[in-house]
Amino acid sequence: MTSSQREIRVKRGVTPLHIVLTAIMAGVLGVMILYAAITTTIVPGVAAVYPATAFEVVFGCWFGVWGGIAAYIGLIIAGTYAGWFPLPLGIVLALSDFSAAVIPAAAFRLLKGDVGLKGGRDWAIYIVFGIVLSTVPGSIYYNLINLYIGWIPSWEAFWVGVISWNLGNFLVNTIIGIPLLKVVTPYVKRAGLYVEGWFS
């Protein structure tokens, strides 16, 4: 066992490192959301291809609930800054991105999968919970709120929004999420930043 691995085992419980990690990841997600060049829209207020989702899912896999909090704060900051939604509405809407990060995080922790996608079981967990299911609840929630405030005009537009949201996210979670997990996970673990449980 190397000294860095020994350090990871010693540091149990929530530490200031987790707060710093969450804040900085929220900042990075903010940058990804703001400068995602491929953001396209089918219904108002809903990005059909939204690359930042892949990072939210991956951060959830690596950092557990902290990844979810980072996704939540990142979307509020970037969305308010870019004028996508007003601040009070952002506080409500950003729960969708929190769920996108926490669903795969929960799946990997409850089913004891390896986020480095080492075996068939890990792949199955990522495909089901990281690619297919991660954004479904969030997409329904986000579009429902948009429907209530009139941003989306009807149930027809609601379903167009939900379906395009999820199809776009299947794509980005596959093309961006898989290489990130395969390539960067060993680095995250070596750096001692990987969160094994929900919070620590």
Partner 1 sequence: MSSRRSFLFYLPETSPFLHVNAISKLTLVLAVSVAALSILDFGFNLVILLFTTALLFVARVPLKNLRMWLYGFAFMLIFLTIMYTLLSRVPGQVIYFTFPWGTFISENTMTRALSVAFRIWSMIFVALMFLSTTTDTDVILALAKLRLPYTLCFLVSLSLRSVLIFSDDWRTILEAYWSKGVDVDKGGLVRRLRNYVSVTIPLIVITLNKVKEVDFAAESRGFRLGMRGRTYIDEFQWNPADVFITAGSVLAIAVVAVLAFQGRLSVLSIAV
Of these, 80, 99, 139, 143, which contacts partner 1 (CB under 8 A)? 80
In this structure, are residues 74 and 30 in contact, taking their beta carbons and an 8 Å threshold?
yes
The nearer residue to partner 1, 112 or 154, going by C-beta atoms, is: 154
| 175 part of the interface to partner 1, by CB under 8 A | yes
Q: Give a three-class secondary structure readout of 163-189.
A: HHHHHHHHHHHHHHHHHHHHHHHHHHH
Alpha carbons 190 and 4: distance in angstroms, whole number: 7
Convert residues 87-126 into a mask of x (bound to partner 1 by CB under 8 A) and - (unbound).
Answer: xxx-------------------------------------
| 150 part of the interface to partner 1, by CB under 8 A | yes
Shortest distance (Å) from residue 154 CB to partner 1 = 5
Of these, 6, 9, 11, 35, which contacts partner 1 (CB under 8 A)? 35
Of these, 8, 28, 128, 136, which contacts partner 1 (CB under 8 A)? 28
Measured torsion, CA atoms of residues 51, 53, 58, 59, in degrees rounded to the nearest 10: 110
The nearer residue to partner 1, 110 or 191, going by C-beta atoms, is: 191
| 8 part of the interface to partner 1, by CB under 8 A | no
Alpha carbons 71 and 94: distance in angstroms, whole number: 8
Residue 93: left (phi > 0), alpha (psi -120 to 50), or beta?
alpha
β-sheet bridge partners, residue 43? 46
The nearer residue to partner 1, 16 or 120, going by C-beta atoms, is: 16
